[in-house]
């Protein structure tokens, strides 16, 4: 943690003490459990004799400020087990903790501030003046089981936000508001992109025609870029025998997350959690020579993983996730060239989204943790070479990269592409992973120049990653205002009056022929209403047609981003939009 981070954590931890002190003064029969600092503030769990309501948080907060003025410092006392048990004799939670700490031979300490004492290992502010009473705020309540176990008592958790300054607190709250406005679940509904049905099941999104168009636009753009580098599309079924995953190792890795399918025979089937094992079997379907390599398979295809219902969230955590997947099988000498090609695809794709700027992306060169070499499969010298290759590609391609130890997969090192969204949140999207394990597990081979059998190297790569998660990030990043090429509907033609409908429809036809996604609104609504509707749907451009435009064979172009308008001849307007689509 940085120094600033540590200080913040001390402030938050100290405020948790203050919260408990206030609650115990106001509700003397409440029993406190634990209260740590968290990444935006703090919380404390209590057992109340009568339920607490959120309206009472104001009173508690006032009490906290009052008590704070009586505190001078945090004073540390060491207690014997007996003393501690005596002091907390009415509190079963603290007793459980005391028993546990003593069993682990930990020193029992209590910290006192004012009249309030709490069992605690330390980590408070040195100087109480470091706590700014205008920079914290109690926010809400939640239920929480003691120690997170649903067999235990349900406690009441009081949450608070806390920062060093009031400005920081306000900035944080502003960002939260912004995030709420941009929530992809909200925008997805407004723009009619996807839906969920209780009959289908949670975590299984259904994409509407507009949402499917959005998906296809992403997939097609990736296919178009990578086909220049020799990728060929393949297709695989969505289930396979359990044996496939026992061989690949995914059976153990995914465990309970695997969806198992029972057929008519004794053979057990599994909904695929990954695509790599299937793709190895296409490779293995023919004898391969060094002359055939590299072989590059690509496929956007859905995987199924049984996430815990509590973990599911809109499109960001789903049970059916579509990977824009690709696998390269090559010789060790070809790795560098192939990784460079993948980096090129990623660069081109994210440049089109205006995200490939050194302020908005960085690459994690994820390598082994040198302290625990046993966590990784494969020979150490092969790992050294693989890590060196990735690092030299990162340098040659002038990527904004950092070497991160311990982030490699157990089967090989990787380049993970991290992107910052409009709210400064970071997401791992693209990835290039060297695999020094799977080809051997499946006995994949090729014949080298000397007629000897060799094991190929496998490279896993994803450009957008999981398409569902990618779309959730893009929807929030652009707040639904997608770039022109990614907009499901790009242009809408708006006739001013009914007499202009016929011309509007002719404009639509000529735009369609030019490959632009266009429609028109010839309803009986007022013109103002039509404009508002177009803006709500976040369509990038609308074309106004009235008497003047009909007469001069032109359109007046307005955009969602600016107030200005521009009247162009129909041919010129067509050319303008076609060039935007390139
Ligand atoms: Zn403490
Ligand atoms: Zn893979």
Q: How far is CA 240 from CA 261, 270, 274, 459, in A?
A: 9, 6, 11, 22
Q: How many other CB atoms are there within 10 angstroms of residue 140's CB atom?
A: 12
Ligand 2 centroid vs 274 CA: distance in angstroms?
Answer: 7
What strands lie across the sheet with 260-262, from one edge to the other? Answer: 239-241, 268-271, 260-262
- The answer to whether 385 and 423 are in contact (CB under 8 A) is no
**What pLDDT, in 10s, does the model give residues 247-268?**
998 998 888 999 999 989 888 9
pLDDT band at residue 436 using 50, 70 and 90 as cut-offs: confident
**What pLDDT, in 10s, does the model give residues 97-150?**
999 999 999 999 999 999 999 999 999 999 999 999 999 999 999 999 999 998
Ligand 2 centroid vs 93 CA: distance in angstroms?
Answer: 46
**Residue found under tokens 């910290």:** 111
Q: How far is CA 165 from CA 7, 12, 18, 159, 428, in A?
A: 12, 12, 18, 18, 31
Nearest-ligand number for the alpha carbon of 279: 2
Ligand 2 centroid vs 296 CA: distance in angstroms?
Answer: 12
pLDDT band at residue 363 using 50, 70 and 90 as cut-offs: very high
Identical fold between 3-180 and 489-581: no
Eight-class DSSP state of 264:
S
Which pLDDT score is estimated for 489? Answer: 95
Eight-class DSSP state of 317:
B
pLDDT above 70 covers a percentage of the chain that reads: 100
What is the rounded CA–CA span in Å between residue 330 and residue 340? 13
Q: How far is CA 287 from CA 230, 293, 443, 444, 535, in A?
A: 20, 12, 12, 9, 57
Ligand 2 centroid vs 366 CA: distance in angstroms?
Answer: 17
Which superfamily does 489-581 belong to? Anticodon-binding domain (3.40.50.800)
Tell me: pLDDT of 314 over 70: yes
CATH of domain 3-180: 3.30.980.10
- Token reading at 57: 């948080």
Q: Active-site positions? A: 276, 305, 323, 325, 327, 414, 460
- What DSSP string describes 504-570? HHHHHHHHHHTT--EEE--SSS-HHHHHHHHHHTT-SEEEEE-HHHHHHTEEEEEESS-S-EEEEEH
Ligand 1 centroid vs 21 CA: distance in angstroms?
Answer: 12
Tell me: pLDDT of 563 over 80: no
Ligand 2 centroid vs 352 CA: distance in angstroms?
Answer: 25
Tell me: pLDDT of 18 over 70: yes
Q: Which CATH class is domain 190-233+280-477?
A: alpha beta
Nearest-ligand number for the alpha carbon of 277: 2
Ranges 112-116, 356-360, 382-386, most confident: 112-116
Nearest-ligand number for the alpha carbon of 44: 1
Nearest-ligand number for the alpha carbon of 109: 1
pLDDT band at residue 1 using 50, 70 and 90 as cut-offs: low
Q: Measuring CA to CA, which residue among 460, 368, 361 is closest to residue 407?
A: 368
pLDDT band at residue 562 using 50, 70 and 90 as cut-offs: confident
* Domain spans of the chain, in order of start: 3-180, 190-233+280-477, 237-274, 489-581
User: Three-class SS string for 45-69?
Assistant: EEECCCCCCHHHHHHHHHHHHHHHC
pLDDT band at residue 58 using 50, 70 and 90 as cut-offs: very high
Ligand 1 centroid vs 68 CA: distance in angstroms?
Answer: 15
Instruction: Pick the more confident residue, 263 or 303.
Output: 303
Question: 138 Cβ partners below 8 Å, 6+ apart?
Answer: 19, 57, 58, 60, 61, 64, 158, 159, 160
Task: Tell me if residue 287 falls in helix, strand or coil.
Answer: coil
Ligand 1 centroid vs 125 CA: distance in angstroms?
Answer: 10
Ligand 2 centroid vs 230 CA: distance in angstroms?
Answer: 18
Which pLDDT score is estimated for 309? Answer: 83
What is the rounded CA–CA span in Å between residue 426 and residue 314? 18
User: Element (H or E) spanning 76, and its range?
Assistant: strand 75-79
Using the Cα atoms of residue 71, residue 74, residue 75 and residue 78 in order, give the sign of their dihedral: positive
- Token reading at 503: 């011309």
**What pLDDT, in 10s, does the model give residues 266-287?**
889 999 999 999 999 999 999 9
Nearest-ligand number for the alpha carbon of 458: 2
Tell me: pLDDT of 73 over 90: yes
Nearest-ligand number for the alpha carbon of 9: 1
Ligand 2 centroid vs 232 CA: distance in angstroms?
Answer: 15
Largest CA distance in the chain: 96
Task: Tell me if residue 360 falls in helix, strand or coil.
Answer: coil
Q: What is the mean pLDDT of residues 381-387?
A: 91
**What pLDDT, in 10s, does the model give residues 184-223?**
999 999 999 999 999 999 999 999 999 999 999 999 999 9
């Amino acid at each position: 943690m940085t120094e600033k981070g540590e200080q913040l954590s001390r402030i938050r931890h100290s405020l948790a003490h203050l919260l408990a002190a206030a609650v115990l003064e106001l509700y003397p029969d409440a029993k406190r459990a634990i209260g740590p600092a968290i990444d935006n503030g703090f919380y404390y769990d209590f057992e109340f004799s009568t339920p607490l309501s959120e309206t009472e948080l104001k009173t508690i907060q006032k009490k906290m400020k009052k008590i704070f003025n009586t505190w001078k410092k945090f004073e540390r006392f060491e207690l014997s087990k007996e003393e501690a048990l005596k002091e907390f004799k009415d509190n079963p939670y603290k007793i459980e903790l005391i028993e546990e700490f003593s069993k682990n031979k930990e020193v029992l300490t209590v910290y006192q501030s004012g009249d309030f004492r709490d069992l605690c290992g330390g980590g408070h502010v040195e100087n109480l003046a470091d706590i700014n009473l205008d920079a914290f705020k109690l926010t809400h309540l939640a239920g929480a089981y003691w120690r997170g176990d649903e067999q235990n008592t349900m406690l009441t958790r009081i949450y608070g936000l806390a920062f060093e300054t009031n400005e920081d607190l306000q900035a944080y709250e502003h960002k939260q508001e912004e995030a709420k406005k941009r929530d992809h679940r909200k925008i997805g509904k407004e723009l009619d992109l996807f839906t969920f049905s209780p009959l289908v099941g949670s975590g299984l999104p259904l994409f509407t025609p507009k949402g499917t168009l959005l998906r296809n636009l992403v997939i097609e753009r990736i296919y178009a870029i990578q086909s220049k580098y020799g990728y060929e599309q393949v297709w695989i079924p969505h289930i396979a025998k359990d044996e496939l995953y026992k061989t690949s190792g995914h059976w153990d890795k995914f465990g309970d997350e695997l969806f198992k399918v029972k057929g008519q025979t004794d053979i057990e089937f599994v909904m695929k959690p990954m695509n790599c094992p299937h793709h190895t079997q296409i490779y293995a379907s023919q004898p391969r020579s060094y002359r055939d390599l590299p072989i590059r398979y690509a496929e956007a295809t859905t995987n199924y993983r049984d996430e815990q219902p509590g973990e599911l969230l809109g499109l960001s955590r789903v049970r059916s996730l579509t990977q824009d997947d690709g696998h390269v099988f090559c010789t060790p000498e070809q790795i560098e060239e192939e990784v460079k090609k993948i980096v090129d695809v990623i660069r081109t794709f994210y440049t089109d989204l205006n995200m490939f700027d050194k302020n908005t992306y960085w690459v994690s060169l994820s390598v082994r943790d040198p302290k625990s070499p046993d966590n990784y499969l494969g020979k150490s010298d092969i790992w050294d070479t693989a890590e060196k290759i990735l690092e030299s590609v990162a340098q040659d391609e002038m990527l904004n990269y950092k070497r991160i130890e311990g982030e490699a997969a157990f089967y090989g090192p990787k380049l993970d592409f991290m992107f910052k969204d409009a709210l400064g949140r970071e997401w791992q999207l693209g990835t290039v992973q060297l695999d020094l394990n799977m080809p051997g597990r499946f006995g994949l081979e090729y014949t080298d120049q000397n007629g000897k059998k060799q094991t190929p190297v496998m490279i896993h790569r994803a450009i957008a990653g999981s398409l569902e998660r990618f779309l959730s990030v893009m929807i929030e990043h652009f707040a639904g205002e997608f770039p022109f090429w990614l907009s499901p509907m790009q242009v809408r033609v708006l006739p001013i009056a009914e007499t202009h409908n016929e011309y509007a429809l002719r404009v639509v036809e000529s735009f369609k022929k030019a490959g632009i996604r266009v429609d028109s609104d010839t309803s009986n609504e007022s013109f103002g209403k039509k404009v508002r509707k177009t803006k709500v749907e976040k369509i990038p451009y609308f074309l106004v047609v009235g008497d003047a435009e009909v007469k001069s064979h032109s359109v007046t172009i307005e955009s969602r981003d600016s107030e200005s308008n521009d009247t162009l001849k129909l041919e010129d307007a067509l050319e303008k939009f076609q060039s935007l689509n390139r």
